[in-house]
Structure 1
């Protein structure tokens, strides 16, 4: 999911440089939404691992 957020961010940057403001805004908004979803899933995953008492495998 983080991959798609980065892809949308790159598309937004390229579209902004080329002058496509609407496409750039939409892609940037989509990238922002995906990034925050990724962060929420990361926090939930960390909390579940802490509650289960399992540490990372080394």
Structure 2
């Protein structure tokens, strides 16, 4: 089982809801809710994560 090393977004101020992202495992980007670190983890391929991230940036 992979041990993910999660980091918070640089846009997080520590007070708001945010997600944490782990990119330390090969071929997977893991995402979780920062308020529920023991909760579910979403797993994306790097390409799918990049497409999602780029779509958010374009909308933001």
TM-score bracket relative to the smaller structure: 0.3 to 0.5
Bigger strand fraction: 2
TM-score w.r.t. the length of structure 1 is 0.33
TM-score w.r.t. the length of structure 2 is 0.32
In terms of Rg, which structure is larger? 1
Bigger helix fraction: 1
